[in-house]
Structure 1
Amino acid sequence: MLRPTPFSCSKRKLAVHLSAFTLALVAVPALAFGQAPPKTGTDMELDPDSKPPPPAEPPPLPPAQEGDWGVGGADEEGKFAPSGKTGAKKREEDEKAEEAKVEDYRALPPREVGVDLVIGFGEIRDVLSDTDPTDVTVASFVPYFFWRLNETWAIGARVPFATGSIDGPIENPVDSFALGNIEASVHARFKLKRRMTLPVSLAITVPTAQGDMFPEQDAAGARPQALLNQAVAGARGWEEQAPYTPNRLGASPSVGFAYDTRLLHVAASTKFELLIKTGGGTPESEATGTLHAPAYNWVTGASFFYDFLDGMISPGLRAWLAVSQQPVTKGTSDYSGAQFVIEPDVNSTIPVGKSLAVRAGLGFIVPLGGPIGGSNSATITGFRLRAGLAF
């Protein structure tokens, strides 16, 4: 038996190795492609065609509280519009605060006392005389008290009286003194807007005025007193007749409008004075005279003032139209009618500390036409002086 040579053994080993390598090449792909697919639900599952699951919804936020930053605001102010004490609201509040500082600085103390003096000179028509006018020179004093109770309500009181000389066709030159009708009033001022207010008031005048156009025989001085009060009402431009009409109870409601800035002050108002007869003498016949019960006076006016030096000097103009039915007429001698009046005016308010202010004013009352402005051959004008102390 022949032994294999070393060469032949090596060939066998090589053949064995080649066969084993070939089997390995065939077996590995077969195992790779022949294994079972992965089961569903395993962590290794991948589906390239599937959509990713939606993200989980975040937990709801707590409800917003009033005043939190970023709450409220108009759309045009952006996504994070400030509110509360920031942004536009804060600017508006700052402006109001600044305006309030100005108003507080200029606001008068709540109480005021003073006197309103008008010196009148000229002529009036005595309804019982159809001849010449009556010459008069009068000075009327009206002490007043005014108390502002709060931002809306206030009360006031006035006690008018006058002195002067009367010289007419019937009356000899005579000096006279007369008390007027004492007045009590209540006032309210309602705020409409930032600078606009609605002032309303009601004044009641009790019949304390002296004088009588048809006096008793033993009251010789009553008629000059009645003419004196008539002259005072004329010197004041018929702006007020209720305080100066003897034997009449007066009720005077009024309403107005006011617009005030730091420098500019504009106002308009209308009032109706109803004069109800409460006593006094009566004419003997219609030829002697006629009493109108009630009489009335309707006054509509406006004013404009502009402040300089923080209100220490405030020039302006007042004007009004008075439509009056006089208490007494005689035949065709009726001096009722419409009267237009202007009053150039200068006021002054000088603060003295935080709780005291001195007030003053000058005015000149000029009737234009009408019963007291020359249409009846009689004209009377007035020079006004005012002085007061607010505390």
Structure 2
Amino acid sequence: MLRPTPCSCSRSVRTKLAFGLSALALVAVPTLAFAQAPPGKGTDMELDPDAAPAEPPPLPPAQEGDWGVGGAEEEGKFAPSGKTGAKKREEAEKAEEAKAEDYRVLPPREFGVDTVIGFGEIRDVLSDTNPTDVTVASFVPYFFWRLNDTWAIGARVPFATGTIDGPIEDPVDSFALGNIEASVHARFKLKRRMTLPVSFALAVPTASGDMFPEQNDAGARPQAVLNQAVAGARGWEEQAPYTPNRLGAVPSVGFAYDTRLLHFAASTKFELMIKTGGGTPESANVGTIHAPAYNWVTSASFSYDFLDGMVSPGLRAWLAVSQQAVTKGTSDYSGAQFVIEPGANSTIPLGKSLALRAGLGFLIPLGGPLGGSNSATINGFRVRAGLAF
């Protein structure tokens, strides 16, 4: 019996089929081996696009002294700390104060003349009848030098001229020198905008005149009355420069508050006038000399700047309590005198190291020995001009 022989084509088909299945297995096995199941809930790889982002945990609280804590508002966390930071902040504050308050720094030296025209009547202590009519013009050239931020020195040379017409003197024109004065000043800073000014002045006895002159010096008495009239026209704010034969010692202390526009000051001073010479009355009925004499003055002032200080209206006022150098029986014209002086000042810069200063004022005594209580009233018109350089 003959067996059928396998067909060569069938073998070929089987060979190709086996090769295809083997290739399919090579592709499928790695795919199944490396395939991952889709992430389910609760796994570490869960990502939910609709969920809100989680907030980070809070930072620990900052401790004082840590880097980045404190500092000026404009510097924030980068403000330097310690001594360096304090020094920088202090320098910044000083610069700001200088910019805000010292916008118009004056040159350190000033030379000028303070002039007061006085007119009215005064009571001559040696006359118990009518008042004495006076018209006087007093001039006080002054020099002031600010040495540094604290210390300054000054000098004044007062003199006057005028007409005296009273019960004792016939109308007479006279000229009189006052007591030359030298002074030292200090200004101490209390805090921002507040300062404490103090000063001491010494008036040497150079004033002309004598209330009880020698017979051969007839012009001395009108000169003494002229100086008395000048002190009255200036509202008794100053008597030491205008009292003949007296050495004046004048300590003063005050308080000042200054902003860019507003200026307020108050002070008190004591003029002690020590007798150094001059004639003496023959008896108490003729007159009494007080040695020493004194004048205690307490004052206040206020002003406001317009146009960067080129126009500064203001008001000054003071109370003077005086013991006159000479009295006569019941004719004692000592006492308390209150005076106000409205006016205006001006400072006009002419350059970096030059400025023109000027002032006007009108002196008004309210009651007292100068304001009518003794049937005599005297007023003064002030004109001041100076050059700061």
TM range (shorter): 0.7 to 0.9
Per-residue deviation, 1:99? 2.6
Q: Residue 257 of structure 2: SS of its match in structure 1? A: strand
Match of 2:47 in 1: none
Alignment of 1:176-195 (within 5 A): 176-195=174-193
Q: Structure 1 residues 73, 227: closer, same or farther in 2, change over 3 A?
A: same
Mapped pair 1:385 → 2:383: yes
Per-residue deviation, 1:83? 3.6
Mapped pair 1:348 → 2:341: no
Match of 2:67 in 1: 70
Match of 1:10 in 2: none
Match of 1:322 in 2: 320
- Structure 2: segments with no counterpart, 5+ residues: 1-64
Q: Structure 1 residues 72, 290: closer, same or farther in 2, change over 3 A?
A: farther
Contact 1:70 1:83 in 2 (8 A): no
Q: Calculate the TM-score normalised by the size of structure 2.
A: 0.79
Of the three residues 93, 96, 99, the one matched with 1:98 is: 96
Q: Structure 1 residues 72, 159: closer, same or farther in 2, change over 3 A?
A: farther
Moved over 3 A (4+): 71-74, 79-96, 102-105
Contact 2:102 2:260 in 1 (8 A): no
Alignment of 1:1-391 (within 5 A): 70=67, 73=70, 82-84=79-81, 94=92, 96-391=94-389
Q: Residue 105 of structure 1: SS of its match in structure 2? A: coil
- Structure 1: segments with no counterpart, 5+ residues: 1-67
Looking at structure 1, the residues matched to 289 and 94 of structure 2 have their Cα atoms a distance apart, in angstroms, of 55
Looking at structure 2, the residues matched to 360 and 99 of structure 1 have their Cα atoms a distance apart, in angstroms, of 26
Looking at structure 2, the residues matched to 92 and 150 of structure 1 have their Cα atoms a distance apart, in angstroms, of 20
Per-residue deviation, 1:286? 0.3
Per-residue deviation, 1:194? 1.2
Counterpart residue identity of residue 157, structure 1: A
Cα displacement string for residues 282-306 of structure 1 (whole angstroms, at most 9, x for unaligned residues): 0000000000000000000100000
Counterpart residue identity of residue 241, structure 2: P
Per-residue deviation, 1:70? 2.2
Contact 1:322 1:339 in 2 (8 A): yes
Per-residue deviation, 1:81? 8.1
Cα displacement string for residues 83-122 of structure 1 (whole angstroms, at most 9, x for unaligned residues): 4499999777545423313444311100000000000000
Contact 1:341 1:368 in 2 (8 A): yes
Match of 2:31 in 1: none
Contact 1:71 1:83 in 2 (8 A): no
Q: Structure 1 residues 89, 247: closer, same or farther in 2, change over 3 A?
A: closer
Looking at structure 2, the residues matched to 341 and 389 of structure 1 have their Cα atoms a distance apart, in angstroms, of 28
Contact 1:127 1:330 in 2 (8 A): yes
Counterpart residue identity of residue 287, structure 1: N
Q: Residue 249 of structure 2: SS of its match in structure 1? A: strand
Match of 1:8 in 2: none
Q: Residue 342 of structure 2: SS of its match in structure 1? A: strand
Contact 2:101 2:258 in 1 (8 A): no
Paired residues, number: 322
Match of 2:35 in 1: none
Looking at structure 2, the residues matched to 219 and 169 of structure 1 have their Cα atoms a distance apart, in angstroms, of 19
Q: Residue 364 of structure 1: SS of its match in structure 2? A: strand
Q: Residue 97 of structure 1: SS of its match in structure 2? A: helix
Q: Calculate the TM-score normalised by the size of structure 1.
A: 0.79
Per-residue deviation, 1:345? 1.4
Counterpart residue identity of residue 379, structure 1: T
Contact 2:295 2:320 in 1 (8 A): yes
Counterpart residue identity of residue 306, structure 2: F
Counterpart residue identity of residue 368, structure 2: G
Cα displacement string for residues 188-247 of structure 1 (whole angstroms, at most 9, x for unaligned residues): 000000100000000000000000000000000000000000000000000000000000
Q: Residue 192 of structure 1: SS of its match in structure 2? A: strand
Looking at structure 2, the residues matched to 196 and 225 of structure 1 have their Cα atoms a distance apart, in angstroms, of 43
Looking at structure 1, the residues matched to 339 and 364 of structure 2 have their Cα atoms a distance apart, in angstroms, of 6
Q: Structure 1 residues 285, 72: closer, same or farther in 2, change over 3 A?
A: farther
Per-residue deviation, 1:73? 3.7
Per-residue deviation, 1:80? 5.5
Match of 1:37 in 2: none
